[in-house]
Amino acid sequence: MIKTTSEINGKKVEHYDIIDSTQLEIHRRIKENKIEDGLIIITEKQTNGKGTHGRVWHTDEKNNIAFSFYKEVNCKSQKLDGITIELAQIVLDVFYKLYNIKLNIKFPNDIVYNNKKLGGILTESKINGEITKYIVVGIGINTNQKRFNKDIENIASSIKNEFNIKVDNEKIIQQIIEQFEIKLKERKVIE
């Protein structure tokens, strides 16, 4: 279970063994008005993970990172400019801090190593006029996956395959959430 020192994010964490998409689940809750600020949805496996430009994010094996979170911000949209690339940098920093491995960013939202995609970040928001009301962030990282479908095996990989280490997914998620909250406070998006 995720334990975070974050003041807002992570107060409500829900785990699923399998779900169509963590991102879609957050959006369903928003539509049904059953959402709580800081909600994190984590799954072991996604059947219809959501990537950028309508692409599918594959979560074919358990023991990878697949989660989304909802954050109310109610700020001018310009305050969130570049937030996806900052999130990608947070992911890189967390892996370096915990495992001393250097990953790269393929602008604006892919986590790569040796020209192979290890993960991605999807940031969506609700904007009214010039005000962003909330953001929904989805993060998928192939941490411990060993095999990939033939259609992506030449362009995708995992931390396990590239560095031969097993990572603690919960610790990574916890660190990402905590560092992201610090970043939002620095931007004066939240207090």
Model confidence at 128: pLDDT above 70: yes
Integer angstrom CA distances of residue 39 from 71, 77, 130, 134, 188: 8, 21, 24, 12, 20
Domains and CATH numbers, the chain: 13-186 (3.30.930.10)
The pLDDT assigned to 53 comes to 47
Q: At 191, is the pLDDT very low, low, confident or very high (cuts 50, 70, 90)?
A: confident
pTM for the complete prediction?
A: 0.89
Q: At 2, is the pLDDT very low, low, confident or very high (cuts 50, 70, 90)?
A: low
Query: Who contacts 182 (Cβ-Cβ below 8 Å, separation ≥6)?
Result: none
- Collapsing DSSP states into helix, strand and coil, what is residue 146? coil
Q: How far apart are CA 133 and CA 2, in angstroms?
A: 26
CA–centroid distance for 176 within its chain:
8
Model confidence at 56: pLDDT above 70: no
Mean pLDDT for 70-86 is 93
Mark residue 14 as left, alpha or beta (left: phi above 0; alpha: psi -120 to 50; beta: remaining): beta
